[in-house]
Amino acid sequence: MLKGKKVVVIGDRDGIPAQSLEECVISAGGEVIYAMTHCYV
């Protein structure tokens, strides 16, 4: 399902931030085309 897909990652600084999500997505064959991390404080 991730293989060959383009992916927008939306991280959470006090959860799972963008770079960690990106590494996971890439390992599953997805291509990250936009990454952001949110901070709620």
Q: Which helix (H) or strand (E) holds 10?
A: strand 6-12
Q: How far is the CB of 9 from another protein (least distance, A)?
A: 5
Phi-psi region of 21 (alpha: psi -120 to 50; beta: other; left: phi over 0): alpha
Shortest Å, Cβ 12 to another protein:
5
Minimum distance from residue 40 beta carbon to another protein (Å): 4
Distance CA 7, CA 15 (A): 19
Residues lying near another protein in the complex (CB under 8 A) = 1-3, 5-21, 23-25, 27-30, 33-41
